[in-house]
Amino acid sequence: MFSKVEVGKSIQLALAPLAVLPSYQRKGIGSALIEEGHRRAEKLSYSYSMVLGDPGYYKRFGYQEAKRFGIESPFLVPSSNYLAYFLKESPSQINGVVRYSSPFYE
């Protein structure tokens, strides 16, 4: 699942942490979901996807620490766990704290 988020004056996407039932893990389901989500997001002209999660997992898909791109988490989490991914080959430069919709803060 992807949610729209604001970073500076741009609208980007945030990937919800991924979970696959243990009996279905290591069969490529999570990878297929992420890759298809990225493909669709790029087709819709989004530039970035952010995720709060395990860097050991998400870095396999090209996610890097978001702070490297000037993108900051709105949550008090280690920077190594807040990641960003370029959806386009030449993304526009953005900077700022990610703003999720209000239900994420309740």
**104 is a domain residue:** no
pLDDT score of 14 more than 90: yes
Predicted TM-score (pTM) of this structure:
0.88
Sign of the Cα pseudo-torsion (39, 42, 46, 49, in order) = positive
In a domain, 53, yes or no: yes
Is 19 part of a structural domain of the chain? Answer: yes
Overall domain count for the chain: 1
Check which CATH number belongs to the domain holding 46 and give it: 3.40.630.30
Distance from C-alpha of 2 to C-alpha of 25, rounded to nearest angstrom: 21
Q: Can you tell me the mean pLDDT for 44-62?
A: 94
In this prediction, residue 106 carries a pLDDT of 62
23 pLDDT above the threshold of 70 = yes
Residue 89: pLDDT over 80:
no
Q: Is residue 105, in this structure, part of any structural domain at all?
A: no
How many beta carbons lie within 10 A of that of residue 20, not counting itself?
Answer: 14
> Which residue range(s) make up the domain with 37?
2-99
Q: Is residue 106 part of a domain?
A: no
pLDDT for position 104: 67
In a domain, 52, yes or no: yes
Identify the pLDDT of residue 105.
60
For residue range 60-84, what is the model confidence (pLDDT) as tens digits?
Answer: 999 999 999 899 999 999 999 999 9
- To the nearest whole number, what is the mean pLDDT of the chain? 91
64 lies in some domain: yes
- One-character DSSP codes across 44-90: TT--EEEEES-HHHHGGGT-EEGGGGTEE-SS---GGGEEEEESSSS
